[in-house]
Structure 1
Amino acid sequence: MRLEGKTAIVTGAGSGFGAGIARRFAAEGATVLVADLNGDAAKAVADEIGGTACTVDVSDAAQMQAMIAAGEALGPVDILINNAGMTHLPQPMEEVDEDLFDRVFAVNCKSIYLGAKYLVPLMKGRKAGAIVNISSTAGISPRPNLNWYNSSKGWVNTATRTMAVELAPHGIRVNAVNPVAGETPLLKSFMGEDTPEMRAKFLSTIPIGRFSTPEDIANASLYLASDEASMVTGVCMTVDGGRCI
């Protein structure tokens, strides 16, 4: 019960890593706001774990402000997990549509800005809080033909460190988790096609020899969000089976 008495918001929690984080946090005693663009998926996870569902487009300021307010209604928000993300299909950088480029950066990057804009002032007032940004090994060791996704995750890693430095005097810790490709709905998008051959190609770059799982990322997020990590801030933790070595 490492999160007993704490309130957490998890974005993109209707599936994949976010659902795994929401489940683990609830099991550890947290009150969880399950936020997702897919309201039905959010409700399904919330009903399963005894949480509260929230439909939100994380790139929209008014919706993010409403999400933070919904979290505060459950109790002062102690933890924000910025997990919602998207990618583009593997293709040469110049062939990615401008609208898709804008959407990738809005979902992966602007959402973190908006979460900070509406939650950080409240956390500052309480002189406490933990923010965990779910980034990617793509921001550390990029794969070709995913250029703008890679770049957005590099932004997440830099933002995490700068947020950590600025917010540390206010008692707020900010860390990131950098997963390797995982068994989530985004996997097919990363690979371009989900075939045994493509899976084998991806797995050959991961020394441990498997994809990451929602449980792997939930365990790392749990540690970084918990009081056990009270001296840890500005860390971009790789959970990658050795891919970035």
Structure 2
Amino acid sequence: MTDTTTRVALITGATGGIGRAVTDRLVRDGFAVAVHYAGNKAKADEAVEAVRAAGGKAIAVGGDVADEEAMAAAFDATEAEFGGIDVLVNTAGIMLLSPIATLNLDDLDRMHRTNICGTFVVSQQAARRIRRGGAIINFSTSVTRLQFPAYGAYAASKGAVEAMTLVLAREMRGKDITVNAVAPGPTATPLFLEGKDQAALDNLAEAAPLERIGTPEDIAEAVAFLAGPARWINGQILFANGGIA
């Protein structure tokens, strides 16, 4: 059992590019971590072993983020191992791109389930369980402001995440728990890079005043800020995009 002075974070989608960077960053800040995975247990176990090899504390927890029973079990396992949860980072999400006119509605349903329902289910568990002084950190996207073609359904799902995040922050009054969302811009993850040629990546890099595409580590720094020292930032969407929007 971790002693009660150790802060504990549960990170959904922790085997993805941003999720893994967030895991590593919070471990450097001294967090014990629950590494959540949806289907790839091997990658979660690999992340856990890396944390332990570096002297940190970690467990793997699995399940569909939109499944209430699975997420309750993930929270239960984290609390049983570490004694409580201080920070929830909800990086789990999927991005399926198509013009609105030709979008397969099955893809819309898939994004709705993971991005909206999943965020809601996990946020609900967090609202019931996070310890005082803790933080709930959801994930939106800068595409809600950029209006890129083919991102309509994805941006709509993340707009819903922003809405529930802002409402939940007000509902947590009196609990000393902050609720915010990070909205990354173009970030060099496998999910984002898939299907893009070098010319497209160069154009995206030039769009930002800092003249590059973000890295998962850039986004993890924003999460670490909200998870730790940023106690007076609450009910906000933090755009981590190098000034592109």
For 2:147, the equivalent position in structure 1 comes to 142
Query: How far 1:242 sits from its partner (Å)?
Result: 0.6
Conservation of the 8 A alpha-carbon contact between 1:15 and 1:41: no
How many residues end up aligned between the 2 structures? 234
For structure 2, the residue ranges without an aligned partner over 5 or more in a row are 53-57
Instruction: Write the letter of the residue equivalent to 2:153.
Output: W
For 1:36, the equivalent position in structure 2 comes to 37
TM score, norm. by length of structure 1: 0.90
Q: Which runs of 4+ in 1 moved over 3 A?
A: none
Which residue of 48, 73, 76 maps to 2:50?
48
Q: How far apart, CA to CA, are the structure 1 residues paired with 2:30 and 2:236?
A: 24
Instruction: Write the letter of the residue equivalent to 2:122.
Output: G
Q: Give runs of aligned pairs for residues 1-245 of structure 1, distance below 5 A.
A: 5-37=6-38, 38-50=40-52, 51-73=58-80, 74-89=82-97, 91-123=98-130, 126-189=131-194, 193-226=195-228, 228-244=229-245
TM score, norm. by length of structure 2: 0.90
Conservation of the 8 A alpha-carbon contact between 1:140 and 1:154: no
Q: How far apart, CA to CA, are the structure 2 residues paired with 1:142 and 1:163?
A: 26
Query: How far 1:129 sits from its partner (Å)?
Result: 2.4
Q: How far apart, CA to CA, are the structure 1 residues paired with 2:122 and 2:196?
A: 33
Q: How far apart, CA to CA, are the structure 2 residues paired with 1:59 and 1:181?
A: 26
Q: Give the SS at the match of 2:86.
A: strand
Query: How far 1:102 sits from its partner (Å)?
Result: 1.0
Identity in percent: 31
Instruction: Write the letter of the residue equivalent to 1:75.
Output: G
Q: How far apart, CA to CA, are the structure 1 residues paired with 2:124 and 2:244?
A: 34
Query: How far 1:224 sits from its partner (Å)?
Result: 0.4
Q: Give the SS at the match of 1:211.
A: coil
For structure 1, the residue ranges without an aligned partner over 5 or more in a row are none
Query: How far 1:133 sits from its partner (Å)?
Result: 0.8
Conservation of the 8 A alpha-carbon contact between 1:143 and 1:150: no
